[in-house]
């Protein structure tokens, strides 16, 4: 019988698959310190018996809105464990897209035996208030992708939740966090907007390459076998994903590279993610950001020679320095019987290639702290593909 299934669960590279899941909740949220501080400030009164908070979180796909709210709810429960009982409920309004279904889901999470049907909205809200007060708890309700509910049912539920303590002896029953990709404040009536507070809006920007790099590093440390990846590999994945600002893209690329590395394992394989694992895992990245191989057609002959030199090194290495470029460019010039250009001209060519998004650069401090060096990479294209096209174009270009 074939042993092709033996590699399933072998764990040559992957130790904990959970860490590569989009819904994984890390112990610490990285790359969003300022946003976390903003969110915490909206709930500064929560330590008081009658305190409550509210926040509106918006941002593009993959900017970390859901994990921001999730880690906050988890952390605030721990932080206030000796001061106040905090309960949290997180509802995805794409799955529960009417106000009735949202309230039913909230009640079911607080009391799994609560009846789902046969009660009016008013009766459901009364039940909700009784459940919270019975336990002497404060409830944080997180409504994710809330725009789906607002389009179908309007914002009356938000208004009712914000007024749940009216005509009652106590206050501070519920805090509310709503999350959306779009400018959800435009969908709220004035009365609701007034109670939510327009100053409670937290707008999250797309991730930078540094933010994505921190996330990929964190996921790799949790999920992968020690020694199966390097900082250069993590950086290259981050640079590939940075064009979208989407952290999920980076996690997807890491997962695909791990899968590719596991696939090629045998008794002679290096059990480490290689450059080709990243490139082969997703050879459509260049097209996803709107770039094609034809972009090299407009380059001058020596710009092509410089790029060809870089492609040959970046097939197997994540980064290279300007010194590497010059030495390899010299070899390529000798191969094509061309006189080398000056250092300054080569530098101008490299900056132009970066401007055209063919390469990326990162300046880093030298290990001894007495200088800086530029590391060049090619996250948006497959070096092998560019190399093949350049080798096809160069003979005719050099004849001009």
pLDDT in tens, 172-213: 789 999 999 877 888 888 889 888 888 899 999 999 999 999
CATH fold group of domain 4-15+207-282: Helicase, Ruva Protein; domain 3 (1.10.8)
What pLDDT was estimated at residue 169? 63
pLDDT at 9 over 60: no
> Once rounded to an integer, what is the mean pLDDT over residues 36-45?
94
Residue 374 belongs to what H/E stretch?
strand 372-377
Q: Is the pLDDT of residue 291 over 50?
A: no
Which of 70-74, 108-112, 167-171, 245-249: highest mean pLDDT? 70-74
The alpha helices in the chain, defined as continuous H runs, are: 33-41, 65-79, 99-110, 121-134, 147-153, 156-162, 190-196, 209-223, 231-242, 247-263, 275-281, 285-288, 301-314, 322-335, 343-355, 383-398
Q: Is the pLDDT of residue 38 over 80?
A: yes
Mean pLDDT value across residues 88-93: 94
Inter-residue contact 167 to 161 (CB < 8 Å): no
pLDDT(369) > 80: no
The residues spanned by each domain of the chain are: 4-15+207-282, 32-203, 293-398
User: HSE (CB half, 13 Å, CA atoms) of 70?
Assistant: 16
* Residue 139 dihedral angles phi and psi, to the nearest 5°: -105, 125
What is the band of 290 on the pLDDT scale with cuts at 50, 70, 90?
very low
The listed range with the strongest mean pLDDT (113-122, 242-251, 267-276) is 242-251
Percentage, residues of the chain above pLDDT 90: 48
Q: Quick one: average pLDDT of 131-137?
A: 84
Count of beta carbons in the 10 Å neighbourhood of residue 179:
25
* Burial class (CB within 10 angstroms; exposed 0-12, middle 13-18, buried 19+) of 331: exposed
Q: What is the band of 371 on the pLDDT scale with cuts at 50, 70, 90? A: low
The pLDDT, as a whole number, for residue 39 is 95
Please tell me the predicted confidence (pLDDT) of residue 287.
Answer: 41
181: left (phi over 0), alpha (psi -120 to 50) or beta: alpha
55-65 pLDDT tens trace:
999 999 889 99
Average pLDDT over residues 367-378: 75
Residue 118 Ramachandran class (φ > 0 left, ψ -120 to 50 alpha, else beta): left
Phi, psi dihedrals of residue 271, rounded to the nearest 5°: -85, 70
**What is residue 54's predicted lDDT score, i.e. its pLDDT?**
94
Alpha-carbon 307 to chain mean position: 30
Yes or no: say if 225 and 12 are a contact pair by the CB < 8 Å rule: yes
Contacts for 42 with CB less than 8 Å, ≥ 6 apart: 53, 54, 55, 200, 202
Is 384's pLDDT higher than 90? no
Q: Is the pLDDT of residue 102 over 80?
A: yes
Query: Residue 359 pLDDT > 50, yes or no?
Result: yes
Task: Give the predicted TM-score (pTM) of the model.
Answer: 0.75
Name the pairing type of β-strands 54-58 and 174-180. Answer: parallel
Looking at the predicted structure, is the pLDDT value of residue 396 above 60?
A: yes
Report pLDDT for 284: 44
The residue ranking higher by pLDDT, 174 or 277, is 174
- Checking if the pLDDT of 370 tops 80, the result is no
Question: Would the pLDDT of 272 be above 90?
Answer: no
Both tokens of 96, joined, read 């529960």
With a CB cutoff of 8 Å and minimum separation 6, the contacts of 209 are 238, 239, 242
CB 203 within 8 A of CB 181: no
32-203: which CATH architecture?
3-Layer(aba) Sandwich (3.40)
More confident site: 392 or 213: 213
Local confidence band at 22 (pLDDT 50, 70, 90 cut-offs) = confident
The pLDDT of residue 247: 92
Whether residue 267 has pLDDT greater than 60: no
Specify the pairing of strand 360-365 against strand 138-144: unpaired
Q: What is the DSSP string of 202-253?
A: EEPPPPPHHHHHHHHHHHHHHHB-TTS--HHHHHHHHHHHHTTT-HHHHHHH
Q: Which of 160-169, 227-236, 261-270 has the highest mean pLDDT?
A: 227-236
Q: In what order do the strands lie in the sheet with 201-203?
A: 86-92, 138-144, 174-180, 54-58, 201-203
Mean pLDDT score of the chain = 86
Would you state the CATH architecture of domain 293-398? Answer: Orthogonal Bundle (1.10)
Is the pLDDT at 289 greater than 50? The verdict is no
pLDDT at residue 1 is higher than 90: no
């Amino acid at each position: 019988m074939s042993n092709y299934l033996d590699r399933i669960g072998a764990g040559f590279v992957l130790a904990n698959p959970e860490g590569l899941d989009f819904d994984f909740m890390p112990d610490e949220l990285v790359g969003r310190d300022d946003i976390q501080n903003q969110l915490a400030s909206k709930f500064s009164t929560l330590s008081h018996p009658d305190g409550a908070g509210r926040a509106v979180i918006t941002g593009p796909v993959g900017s970390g809105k859901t994990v921001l709210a999730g880690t906050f709810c988890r952390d605030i429960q721990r932080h206030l464990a000796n001061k106040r009982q905090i309960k949290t409920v997180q509802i995805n309004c794409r799955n529960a897209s009417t106000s009735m279904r949202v309230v039913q889901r909230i009640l079911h999470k607080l009391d799994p035996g609560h009846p789902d049907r046969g009660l009016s909205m008013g009766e459901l809200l009364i039940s909700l208030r009784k459940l919270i007060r019975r336990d002497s708890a404060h409830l944080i309700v997180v409504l994710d992708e809330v725009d789906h509910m607002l389009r179908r049912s309007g914002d009356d539920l938000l208004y009712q939740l914000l007024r749940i303590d009216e005509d009652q002896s106590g206050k501070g029953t519920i805090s509310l966090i709503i999350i959306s990709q779009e400018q959800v404040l435009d969908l709220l009536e004035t009365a609701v907007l007034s109670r939510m507070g327009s100053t409670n809006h937290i707008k999250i920007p797309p991730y930078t390459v540094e933010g994505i790099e921190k996330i990929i590093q964190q996921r790799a440390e949790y999920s992968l076998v020690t020694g199966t990846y390097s900082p250069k590999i993590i950086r290259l994945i981050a640079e590939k994903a940075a064009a979208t600002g989407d952290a999920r893209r980076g996690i997807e690329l890491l997962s695909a590279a791990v899968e590719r590395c596991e696939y090629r394992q045998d008794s002679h394989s290096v059990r480490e993610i290689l450059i080709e694992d990243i490139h082969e895992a997703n050879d459509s990245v260049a097209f996803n950001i709107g770039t094609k191989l034809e972009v090299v057609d407009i380059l001058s002959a020596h710009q092509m020679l410089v790029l060809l030199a870089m492609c040959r090194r970046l097939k197997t290495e994540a980064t290279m320095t300007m010194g590497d470029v010059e030495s390899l460019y010299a070899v390529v010039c000798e191969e094509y019987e061309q006189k080398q250009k000056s250092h300054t001209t080569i530098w101008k060519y490299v900056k132009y290639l970066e401007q055209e998004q063919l390469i990326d650069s990162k300046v880093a401090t030298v290990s001894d702290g007495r200088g800086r060096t530029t590391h060049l990479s090619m996250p948006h294209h497959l070096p092998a593909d560019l190399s093949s096209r350049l080798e096809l174009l160069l003979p005719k270009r050099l004849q001009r």
